[in-house]
Amino acid sequence: AWPLVSLIASALTWPNGENGERARGRGARERKKKSIMAATAATTRRWSIAAHPLSLGGGGDSSAHAHLPLTRRPLDLFFVFYFITHVPTSLLVDAQCVLPPGNFPQAARDALAYHLETFKDPLMGTCPAWLRSIIWCELALQVPFFILATYAFCARKNWIRMPSIAYGVHTATTLAPILGSFWLSGSGGYGKLTVAERAKLTALYLPYLVVPLLLALRMALSPEPFGKNKTKKG
């Protein structure tokens, strides 16, 4: 009787064993499918970062980059350095075109004199009316922006996006007449500059065209340049 009982028991349990094997097979396939999907998503994300370096170079929309410290966001760190160093340049050097010399320390006046002697800058040497109007805009609008932007970039505040775009476009536009005056002037005045002196002045002023445009592009590429802000629940 025992062999018969064993045979019946085997017949009863065999389908369950087959079903178990099938279930384990389906589970393995599902795990493999999920693994492939995760790898594909990671690869797509890496390609997205490579294709749009400016959108993630300083924060980006990706949650992985949204809360990095400033020291791990090299592009934003560069912008903060630009903002900070631009404040004393604007207040102590550029402002000498629109305010009496007695308002500035001797070191600032010496710095401007060195600049004029080294670069033969006809703009800062003569301060034409159109340049003075640009410098007033710099003092009234750009200097406050530099202070706000320094805080916003360090604290990852998305509200700085539109002011950054406005600053970048405005400043880049002001460089058009400045650079143009070096190369499009006639035989008198600025025309006395040699080609080497024009090239030196262009190299000096060109970063103030490139960096603002880069900033505007950095902000324009992402509606939330520093990632989504986390809101507290409750």
pLDDT in tens, 8-63: 555 555 555 555 566 566 777 777 777 777 666 555 455 444 445 555 454 444 44
Q: Is there a single domain that holds both residue 32 and residue 90? A: no
Task: Count structural domains, the chain.
Answer: 2
Residue 84 lies in a domain: yes
- Is residue 84 within 8 Å of residue 150, measured between CB atoms? yes
Q: What average pLDDT is seen over the chain?
A: 82
What is the per-residue pLDDT for 60? 44
pTM of the model: 0.71
What is the per-residue pLDDT for 228? 78
What's CA 99's distance to the chain center, in Å?
A: 33
Q: Is there a single domain that holds both residue 39 and residue 144? A: no
Q: Is there a single domain that holds both residue 97 and residue 172? A: yes
Q: At what angle do helices 161-183 and 195-205 cross, to 10 degrees?
A: 170
What is the per-residue pLDDT for 43? 54
Residue 231 lies in a domain: no
- Which residue from 166, 168, 164 is spatially nearest to 208, judged by alpha carbons? 168
Residue 233 lies in a domain: no
Q: Is there a single domain that holds both residue 144 and residue 216? A: yes
What is the per-residue pLDDT for 219? 97
Q: Residue 28: which domain range?
A: 2-51
User: What is the spatial distance between Cα 221 and Cα 56, in angstroms, rounded to a whole number?
Assistant: 9
Q: Is there a single domain that holds both residue 9 and residue 66? A: no
What is the per-residue pLDDT for 11? 52
Domain end position, chosen among 51, 68, 85: 51
Q: Is there a single domain that holds both residue 69 and residue 100? A: yes
Helix (H, G, I), strand (E, B) or coil at 225: coil
Count other C-beta atoms under 10 Å from residue 133's C-beta.
12
State mean pLDDT over 97-112: 97
Count other C-beta atoms under 10 Å from residue 40's C-beta.
10
Q: Is there a single domain that holds both residue 83 and residue 175? A: yes
User: What is the spatial distance between Cα 140 and Cα 144, in angstroms, rounded to a whole number?
Assistant: 7
Q: Is there a single domain that holds both residue 137 and residue 25? A: no
Per-residue pLDDT of 173-229, as tens digits, reads 999 999 999 998 764 556 688 999 999 999 999 999 999 999 999 999 999 999 876
State mean pLDDT over 142-152: 98
What is the per-residue pLDDT for 101? 93
Q: Is there a single domain that holds both residue 33 and residue 81? A: no
What is the per-residue pLDDT for 58? 46
Residue 225 lies in a domain: no
Q: Which amino acid is at 222?
A: S
36 or 172: whose pLDDT is higher?
Answer: 172
Residue 227 lies in a domain: no
Q: Which residue has the tokens 């018969």?
A: 4
Residue 195 lies in a domain: yes
- Is residue 142 within 8 Å of residue 171, measured between CB atoms? yes
Q: Is there a single domain that holds both residue 116 and residue 193? A: yes
Domain end position, chosen among 51, 69, 91: 51
Q: Is there a single domain that holds both residue 46 and residue 159? A: no
What is the per-residue pLDDT for 69? 86
pLDDT at 87 over 70: yes
What is the per-residue pLDDT for 10? 56
Alpha-helix runs per DSSP H in 120-155: 122-126, 129-137, 143-155
Environment class of 72 (CB within 10 Å of its CB; exposed 0-12, middle 13-18, buried 19+): exposed
What is the per-residue pLDDT for 159? 97
Residue 123 lies in a domain: yes
- Is residue 58 within 8 Å of residue 224, measured between CB atoms? no
What is the per-residue pLDDT for 56? 47
Q: Is there a single domain that holds both residue 87 and residue 25? A: no
* Tokens found for residue 141: 């609008």
